Amino acid sequence: AVTVRSQPTTPVPLKNTEAPEQVHLALQLPKNSSKDTESTPGSCSEDACQNGGTCVPGADAHSCDCRPGFKGRHCELACEKVPRPCTRLFSETKSFPVWEGDICHHVYKKVYKVHQDVCFKERCQSTSLRKPKQETK
């Protein structure tokens, strides 16, 4: 795991000892304190994602994998698909045989069709706390 820090930490001194046999060197890094991991860019805090979203750490910033029905950087938007009537236009090219003497020609004609359908529009609302609406008289 690689930890990215905004401030570098002091270097860890390495000791090199001469030995007649083959030597394996190891670098021992100090353990990260909880302060280091919390301030690491891209790390996840407990409340990083709302509405049951799962935090995914990244190199520069975290992202949230939202549950179905929620969107937004922190899963703060509750979204629903609202059905509404709509009109769809279709065009088809049809060929019609036309006989001229012993020769058959095809005449191509574009036919347009109108179809009444149901389309869906997505409506999202913030789930964060907000002021209650005032009634108007």
Model pLDDT for residues 46-92, shown as the tens digit of each residue: 788 999 999 999 888 889 999 999 999 999 999 999 999 999 998 99
Residue 131 has pLDDT above 80, yes or no: no
- As a three-state string, the secondary structure of 32-54 is CCHHHHHCCCCCCCCCCCCCCCE
pTM for the whole structure: 0.44
- The enclosing domain of 76 has a CATH number of 2.10.25.10
| % of the chain with per-residue pLDDT over 90 | 42
Domain count, the chain: 1
Helix (H) / strand (E) element for 69: namely none
Domain enclosing residue 96, as ranges: 34-126
Look at residue 115 and tell me if it is in a domain. Answer: yes
Nearest one of 88, 80, 76 to 113, comparing CA atoms? 88
Look at residue 111 and tell me if it is in a domain. Answer: yes
Averaged pLDDT of the chain? 77
The answer to whether the CB of 113 falls within 8 A of the CB of 60 is: no
State how far the Cα of 31 lies from the Cα of 17, in Å rounded to an integer. Answer: 24
State how far the Cα of 84 lies from the Cα of 131, in Å rounded to an integer. Answer: 29
Token pair recorded at residue 102:
């012993």
What are 79's strand-pairing partners?
124
